[in-house]
Amino acid sequence: MKLKNKKSRNIIGIIQSCLIFALVILVIFMMIQINRLQGTARVINYAGLVRGATQREVKLEITGSQNDELIKYLDDILSGLKYQDGNYDLVKLQDKEYQDKLQVQIDYWNKIKKEIEAVRSNGYENTDIVNMSETYFKLADDTVSAAENYSEKIATKIRTIELLSALDMLCLVILIIVQTIMAMKMARQNKLLEQRAYTDARTGLPNRSACKEILNNNEIISSPTACIIFDLNNLKFINDTMGHSAGDRLIVKFAGLLRRVFPEKDFVGRYGGDEFMVVIYDTDKAEVDEILKCLCLEKDKLNNTGNELQIDYACGWAISEDYKESTLQILFDSADSYMYENKQLCKKQNQ
Protein backbone atom coordinates (compact mmCIF):
# COMPACT_ATOMS: atom_id res chain seq x y z
CA MET A 1 0.00 0.00 0.00
CA LYS A 2 2.83 2.39 0.92
CA LEU A 3 4.64 1.63 -2.34
CA LYS A 4 1.43 2.19 -4.29
CA ASN A 5 0.80 5.54 -2.57
CA LYS A 6 4.40 6.60 -3.15
CA LYS A 7 4.15 5.66 -6.83
CA SER A 8 0.89 7.63 -7.15
CA ARG A 9 2.48 10.67 -5.51
CA ASN A 10 5.48 10.45 -7.87
CA ILE A 11 3.22 10.23 -10.94
CA ILE A 12 1.15 13.21 -9.76
CA GLY A 13 4.35 15.15 -9.07
CA ILE A 14 5.64 14.47 -12.60
CA ILE A 15 2.31 15.46 -14.18
CA GLN A 16 2.20 18.60 -12.05
CA SER A 17 5.73 19.59 -13.12
CA CYS A 18 4.81 19.04 -16.78
CA LEU A 19 1.67 21.15 -16.42
CA ILE A 20 3.59 23.97 -14.74
CA PHE A 21 6.24 23.84 -17.50
CA ALA A 22 3.50 23.87 -20.16
CA LEU A 23 1.83 26.83 -18.45
CA VAL A 24 5.10 28.79 -18.47
CA ILE A 25 5.53 28.07 -22.20
CA LEU A 26 1.94 29.13 -22.89
CA VAL A 27 2.44 32.38 -20.98
CA ILE A 28 5.61 33.12 -22.99
CA PHE A 29 3.77 32.44 -26.28
CA MET A 30 0.89 34.64 -25.16
CA MET A 31 3.26 37.51 -24.36
CA ILE A 32 4.83 37.16 -27.81
CA GLN A 33 1.43 37.19 -29.53
CA ILE A 34 0.21 40.15 -27.47
CA ASN A 35 3.39 42.04 -28.37
CA ARG A 36 2.70 41.34 -32.05
CA LEU A 37 -0.92 42.40 -31.70
CA GLN A 38 -0.12 45.70 -29.99
CA GLY A 39 1.25 47.37 -33.17
CA THR A 40 -1.20 45.73 -35.55
CA ALA A 41 -4.07 48.15 -34.88
CA ARG A 42 -1.81 51.12 -35.66
CA VAL A 43 -0.68 49.45 -38.90
CA ILE A 44 -4.31 48.86 -39.98
CA ASN A 45 -5.14 52.48 -39.19
CA TYR A 46 -2.23 53.88 -41.22
CA ALA A 47 -2.76 51.43 -44.09
CA GLY A 48 -6.33 52.70 -44.34
CA LEU A 49 -5.09 56.28 -44.06
CA VAL A 50 -2.81 55.72 -47.09
CA ARG A 51 -5.79 54.47 -49.05
CA GLY A 52 -7.80 57.65 -48.41
CA ALA A 53 -4.89 60.11 -48.60
CA THR A 54 -3.84 58.77 -52.02
CA GLN A 55 -7.34 59.43 -53.38
CA ARG A 56 -7.11 62.97 -52.01
CA GLU A 57 -3.71 63.50 -53.66
CA VAL A 58 -5.06 62.36 -57.03
CA LYS A 59 -8.06 64.72 -56.75
CA LEU A 60 -5.75 67.61 -55.88
CA GLU A 61 -3.56 66.88 -58.91
CA ILE A 62 -6.61 66.65 -61.18
CA THR A 63 -7.75 70.08 -59.97
CA GLY A 64 -4.26 71.51 -60.51
CA SER A 65 -3.37 71.77 -56.80
CA GLN A 66 0.05 70.22 -56.40
CA ASN A 67 0.91 68.88 -52.92
CA ASP A 68 4.44 67.44 -52.69
CA GLU A 69 4.22 67.37 -48.89
CA LEU A 70 1.31 64.93 -49.07
CA ILE A 71 3.29 62.73 -51.50
CA LYS A 72 6.26 62.73 -49.11
CA TYR A 73 3.86 61.94 -46.23
CA LEU A 74 2.54 58.91 -48.13
CA ASP A 75 6.10 57.80 -48.99
CA ASP A 76 7.06 57.94 -45.31
CA ILE A 77 4.04 55.92 -44.21
CA LEU A 78 4.59 53.22 -46.84
CA SER A 79 8.27 53.02 -45.90
CA GLY A 80 7.30 52.70 -42.23
CA LEU A 81 4.84 49.92 -43.04
CA LYS A 82 7.44 48.07 -45.09
CA TYR A 83 10.64 48.63 -43.12
CA GLN A 84 9.44 49.73 -39.67
CA ASP A 85 11.18 53.11 -39.97
CA GLY A 86 10.04 56.72 -40.09
CA ASN A 87 8.31 58.89 -37.52
CA TYR A 88 5.04 57.02 -37.09
CA ASP A 89 6.01 54.14 -34.75
CA LEU A 90 4.83 51.53 -37.22
CA VAL A 91 5.77 47.86 -36.89
CA LYS A 92 6.57 45.39 -39.63
CA LEU A 93 3.91 42.69 -39.66
CA GLN A 94 5.46 39.22 -39.90
CA ASP A 95 2.91 37.93 -42.39
CA LYS A 96 3.80 36.88 -45.95
CA GLU A 97 0.38 37.62 -47.46
CA TYR A 98 0.39 41.13 -46.01
CA GLN A 99 3.99 41.82 -47.06
CA ASP A 100 3.32 40.61 -50.62
CA LYS A 101 0.24 42.82 -50.99
CA LEU A 102 2.05 45.78 -49.43
CA GLN A 103 4.92 45.39 -51.92
CA VAL A 104 2.47 45.31 -54.83
CA GLN A 105 0.82 48.46 -53.43
CA ILE A 106 4.19 50.25 -53.05
CA ASP A 107 5.23 49.31 -56.60
CA TYR A 108 1.94 50.62 -57.95
CA TRP A 109 2.31 53.81 -55.87
CA ASN A 110 5.63 54.46 -57.60
CA LYS A 111 3.80 54.15 -60.95
CA ILE A 112 1.15 56.61 -59.75
CA LYS A 113 3.85 59.10 -58.78
CA LYS A 114 5.22 58.93 -62.33
CA GLU A 115 1.69 59.38 -63.64
CA ILE A 116 1.30 62.45 -61.38
CA GLU A 117 4.39 63.94 -63.07
CA ALA A 118 2.66 63.31 -66.40
CA VAL A 119 -0.50 65.00 -65.10
CA ARG A 120 1.52 68.06 -64.12
CA SER A 121 3.19 68.17 -67.55
CA ASN A 122 0.36 67.19 -69.90
CA GLY A 123 -2.88 67.56 -67.90
CA TYR A 124 -4.87 64.73 -66.39
CA GLU A 125 -6.99 64.37 -69.56
CA ASN A 126 -3.96 62.93 -71.33
CA THR A 127 -3.15 60.41 -68.57
CA ASP A 128 -4.64 57.31 -67.01
CA ILE A 129 -4.48 58.75 -63.49
CA VAL A 130 -8.18 58.20 -62.69
CA ASN A 131 -8.19 54.50 -63.59
CA MET A 132 -4.85 53.99 -61.84
CA SER A 133 -6.32 55.66 -58.75
CA GLU A 134 -9.20 53.19 -58.72
CA THR A 135 -6.81 50.26 -59.14
CA TYR A 136 -4.60 51.58 -56.35
CA PHE A 137 -7.61 51.95 -54.07
CA LYS A 138 -8.36 48.25 -54.61
CA LEU A 139 -4.73 47.29 -53.93
CA ALA A 140 -4.65 49.40 -50.76
CA ASP A 141 -7.93 47.84 -49.67
CA ASP A 142 -6.40 44.37 -50.16
CA THR A 143 -3.42 45.39 -47.99
CA VAL A 144 -5.71 46.60 -45.21
CA SER A 145 -7.70 43.34 -45.41
CA ALA A 146 -4.47 41.32 -45.18
CA ALA A 147 -3.44 43.31 -42.07
CA GLU A 148 -6.88 42.73 -40.54
CA ASN A 149 -6.66 39.00 -41.31
CA TYR A 150 -3.23 38.89 -39.66
CA SER A 151 -4.65 40.66 -36.61
CA GLU A 152 -7.53 38.19 -36.44
CA LYS A 153 -5.12 35.24 -36.70
CA ILE A 154 -3.12 36.60 -33.76
CA ALA A 155 -6.33 37.18 -31.78
CA THR A 156 -7.38 33.58 -32.53
CA LYS A 157 -3.99 32.31 -31.35
CA ILE A 158 -4.32 34.34 -28.14
CA ARG A 159 -7.81 32.96 -27.53
CA THR A 160 -6.50 29.42 -28.12
CA ILE A 161 -3.58 30.00 -25.73
CA GLU A 162 -6.00 31.44 -23.15
CA LEU A 163 -8.18 28.33 -23.48
CA LEU A 164 -5.19 25.99 -23.16
CA SER A 165 -3.89 27.99 -20.18
CA ALA A 166 -7.28 27.80 -18.48
CA LEU A 167 -7.40 24.04 -19.13
CA ASP A 168 -3.84 23.69 -17.81
CA MET A 169 -4.70 25.64 -14.64
CA LEU A 170 -7.86 23.58 -14.19
CA CYS A 171 -5.78 20.40 -14.34
CA LEU A 172 -3.36 21.90 -11.81
CA VAL A 173 -6.25 22.75 -9.48
CA ILE A 174 -7.62 19.21 -9.84
CA LEU A 175 -4.17 17.78 -9.06
CA ILE A 176 -3.85 20.04 -6.01
CA ILE A 177 -7.28 18.85 -4.82
CA VAL A 178 -6.25 15.21 -5.42
CA GLN A 179 -2.97 15.78 -3.54
CA THR A 180 -4.87 17.41 -0.67
CA ILE A 181 -7.32 14.50 -0.49
CA MET A 182 -4.43 12.01 -0.60
CA ALA A 183 -2.59 13.93 2.12
CA MET A 184 -5.71 14.00 4.31
CA LYS A 185 -6.28 10.29 3.69
CA MET A 186 -2.65 9.53 4.51
CA ALA A 187 -2.87 11.66 7.66
CA ARG A 188 -5.95 9.68 8.74
CA GLN A 189 -4.17 6.41 7.98
CA ASN A 190 -1.09 7.51 9.92
CA LYS A 191 -3.28 8.59 12.82
CA LEU A 192 -5.06 5.23 12.73
CA LEU A 193 -1.73 3.40 12.62
CA GLU A 194 -0.47 5.50 15.50
CA GLN A 195 -3.61 4.72 17.46
CA ARG A 196 -3.17 1.02 16.73
CA ALA A 197 0.48 1.22 17.79
CA TYR A 198 -0.59 2.65 21.16
CA THR A 199 -3.81 0.67 21.64
CA ASP A 200 -4.18 -2.75 23.24
CA ALA A 201 -5.98 -4.90 20.68
CA ARG A 202 -7.80 -7.00 23.29
CA THR A 203 -9.14 -4.32 25.65
CA GLY A 204 -9.13 -1.21 23.49
CA LEU A 205 -7.22 0.62 26.23
CA PRO A 206 -3.85 2.34 25.70
CA ASN A 207 -1.17 -0.37 25.65
CA ARG A 208 2.22 -0.73 27.34
CA SER A 209 3.88 1.59 24.78
CA ALA A 210 1.35 4.32 25.57
CA CYS A 211 1.93 3.83 29.30
CA LYS A 212 5.69 3.97 28.82
CA GLU A 213 5.41 7.17 26.79
CA ILE A 214 3.56 8.86 29.64
CA LEU A 215 6.07 7.60 32.18
CA ASN A 216 8.98 8.82 30.06
CA ASN A 217 7.86 12.40 30.62
CA ASN A 218 10.46 13.58 33.13
CA GLU A 219 8.82 16.93 33.85
CA ILE A 220 8.17 17.71 37.50
CA ILE A 221 4.44 17.37 38.21
CA SER A 222 2.95 20.81 38.89
CA SER A 223 -0.69 19.93 39.67
CA PRO A 224 -1.89 17.21 42.11
CA THR A 225 -1.70 13.88 40.28
CA ALA A 226 -2.17 10.30 41.42
CA CYS A 227 -0.93 7.04 39.87
CA ILE A 228 -2.67 3.73 40.62
CA ILE A 229 -1.42 0.25 39.68
CA PHE A 230 -3.83 -2.71 39.52
CA ASP A 231 -2.97 -6.39 39.30
CA LEU A 232 -5.54 -9.16 38.78
CA ASN A 233 -5.07 -11.70 41.57
CA ASN A 234 -6.83 -14.68 40.03
CA LEU A 235 -5.82 -14.50 36.35
CA LYS A 236 -3.33 -17.39 36.52
CA PHE A 237 -5.87 -19.58 38.33
CA ILE A 238 -8.54 -18.92 35.70
CA ASN A 239 -6.08 -19.54 32.87
CA ASP A 240 -5.06 -22.87 34.42
CA THR A 241 -8.56 -24.08 35.29
CA MET A 242 -10.80 -22.52 32.64
CA GLY A 243 -8.44 -21.83 29.76
CA HIS A 244 -6.77 -18.74 28.35
CA SER A 245 -9.92 -17.62 26.53
CA ALA A 246 -11.62 -17.26 29.91
CA GLY A 247 -8.58 -15.35 31.17
CA ASP A 248 -8.84 -13.03 28.19
CA ARG A 249 -12.53 -12.40 28.95
CA LEU A 250 -11.62 -11.57 32.55
CA ILE A 251 -9.03 -9.03 31.37
CA VAL A 252 -11.57 -7.41 29.03
CA LYS A 253 -14.18 -7.38 31.78
CA PHE A 254 -11.82 -5.69 34.26
CA ALA A 255 -10.65 -3.17 31.63
CA GLY A 256 -14.26 -2.17 30.96
CA LEU A 257 -14.88 -1.80 34.69
CA LEU A 258 -11.88 0.52 35.12
CA ARG A 259 -12.86 2.66 32.17
CA ARG A 260 -16.43 3.05 33.44
CA VAL A 261 -15.46 3.99 36.98
CA PHE A 262 -12.60 6.41 36.33
CA PRO A 263 -13.43 9.82 34.82
CA GLU A 264 -12.99 10.24 31.07
CA LYS A 265 -10.30 12.90 31.57
CA ASP A 266 -8.04 10.42 33.37
CA PHE A 267 -5.67 7.89 31.79
CA VAL A 268 -6.52 4.19 31.99
CA GLY A 269 -4.10 1.79 30.29
CA ARG A 270 -3.07 -1.85 30.22
CA TYR A 271 0.55 -1.93 31.35
CA GLY A 272 0.96 -5.57 30.43
CA GLY A 273 -0.39 -9.04 31.19
CA ASP A 274 -2.64 -8.65 34.24
CA GLU A 275 -1.39 -5.17 35.20
CA PHE A 276 -3.25 -1.92 34.61
CA MET A 277 -2.16 1.68 35.17
CA VAL A 278 -4.39 4.65 35.98
CA VAL A 279 -3.33 8.31 36.17
CA ILE A 280 -5.78 10.71 37.84
CA TYR A 281 -5.17 14.39 37.11
CA ASP A 282 -6.06 17.39 39.33
CA THR A 283 -7.06 15.24 42.27
CA ASP A 284 -6.48 14.74 46.00
CA LYS A 285 -6.35 11.81 48.42
CA ALA A 286 -10.03 12.07 49.29
CA GLU A 287 -11.07 11.78 45.64
CA VAL A 288 -8.74 8.83 45.06
CA ASP A 289 -10.17 7.01 48.10
CA GLU A 290 -13.71 7.76 46.89
CA ILE A 291 -13.03 6.43 43.38
CA LEU A 292 -11.38 3.26 44.73
CA LYS A 293 -14.39 2.65 47.00
CA CYS A 294 -16.69 3.12 44.01
CA LEU A 295 -14.56 0.67 42.01
CA CYS A 296 -14.80 -1.91 44.79
CA LEU A 297 -18.60 -1.55 44.92
CA GLU A 298 -18.91 -1.92 41.13
CA LYS A 299 -16.62 -4.95 41.26
CA ASP A 300 -18.80 -6.59 43.92
CA LYS A 301 -21.93 -5.91 41.84
CA LEU A 302 -20.37 -7.68 38.86
CA ASN A 303 -19.22 -10.61 40.95
CA ASN A 304 -22.68 -10.99 42.54
CA THR A 305 -24.39 -11.40 39.18
CA GLY A 306 -23.47 -15.08 39.23
CA ASN A 307 -20.75 -14.74 36.61
CA GLU A 308 -18.17 -17.48 36.99
CA LEU A 309 -15.38 -15.00 36.11
CA GLN A 310 -14.90 -13.36 39.49
CA ILE A 311 -12.81 -10.17 39.55
CA ASP A 312 -10.23 -9.89 42.30
CA TYR A 313 -7.37 -7.42 42.26
CA ALA A 314 -4.60 -5.86 44.28
CA CYS A 315 -3.76 -2.20 43.93
CA GLY A 316 -1.35 0.43 45.12
CA TRP A 317 -1.26 4.14 44.56
CA ALA A 318 0.83 7.25 45.13
CA ILE A 319 0.02 10.94 44.87
CA SER A 320 2.32 13.82 44.01
CA GLU A 321 1.40 15.90 47.06
CA ASP A 322 3.31 13.39 49.22
CA TYR A 323 6.55 14.32 47.45
CA LYS A 324 8.47 17.58 47.31
CA GLU A 325 9.25 17.01 43.63
CA SER A 326 7.96 14.06 41.66
CA THR A 327 7.55 12.72 38.17
CA LEU A 328 5.06 10.15 36.93
CA GLN A 329 7.82 7.54 36.96
CA ILE A 330 8.41 8.19 40.67
CA LEU A 331 4.68 7.86 41.38
CA PHE A 332 4.53 4.69 39.27
CA ASP A 333 7.43 3.07 41.14
CA SER A 334 5.87 3.91 44.51
CA ALA A 335 2.41 2.72 43.43
CA ASP A 336 3.89 -0.50 42.05
CA SER A 337 5.65 -1.12 45.36
CA TYR A 338 2.44 -0.53 47.34
CA MET A 339 0.54 -2.80 44.94
CA TYR A 340 3.06 -5.59 45.53
CA GLU A 341 2.61 -5.23 49.31
CA ASN A 342 -1.16 -5.33 48.86
CA LYS A 343 -0.89 -8.42 46.66
CA GLN A 344 1.19 -10.24 49.27
CA LEU A 345 -1.37 -9.30 51.91
CA CYS A 346 -4.19 -10.69 49.74
CA LYS A 347 -2.31 -13.98 49.33
CA LYS A 348 -1.90 -14.34 53.11
CA GLN A 349 -5.58 -13.62 53.67
CA ASN A 350 -6.58 -16.26 51.10
CA GLN A 351 -4.36 -18.97 52.62
Give the helix ranges, DSSP H, for the chain: 2-38, 40-62, 68-83, 96-122, 129-197, 208-215, 235-242, 244-261, 285-303, 328-350
Phi, psi of 33 (to 5 degrees): -65, -40
* Reported confidence tier of residue 3, pLDDT bands at 50, 70, 90: very low
How does pLDDT run across 82-126, given as a tens digit for each residue? Answer: 998 878 888 888 889 999 999 999 999 999 999 999 999 988 888
Residue 252 domain flag: yes
CA 280 to chain centre: 42
Domain ends where: 141, 163, 179? 179
* Reported confidence tier of residue 211, pLDDT bands at 50, 70, 90: very high
Q: Name the domain count of the chain.
A: 2
| Pair 43, 157 in one domain | yes
- Over residues 36-53, the mean pLDDT reads 87
List the CATH number of the domain containing 221.
3.30.70.270
pLDDT of 170 above 80: yes
Residue 198 in contact with residue 213, Cβ under 8 Å? yes
* Reported confidence tier of residue 296, pLDDT bands at 50, 70, 90: very high
Residue 310 in contact with residue 287, Cβ under 8 Å? no
What pLDDT score was predicted for residue 30?
86
Residue 343 domain flag: yes
| Pair 247, 321 in one domain | yes
3-state SS class at 231: strand
Task: Give residue 132's domain range.
Answer: 2-179
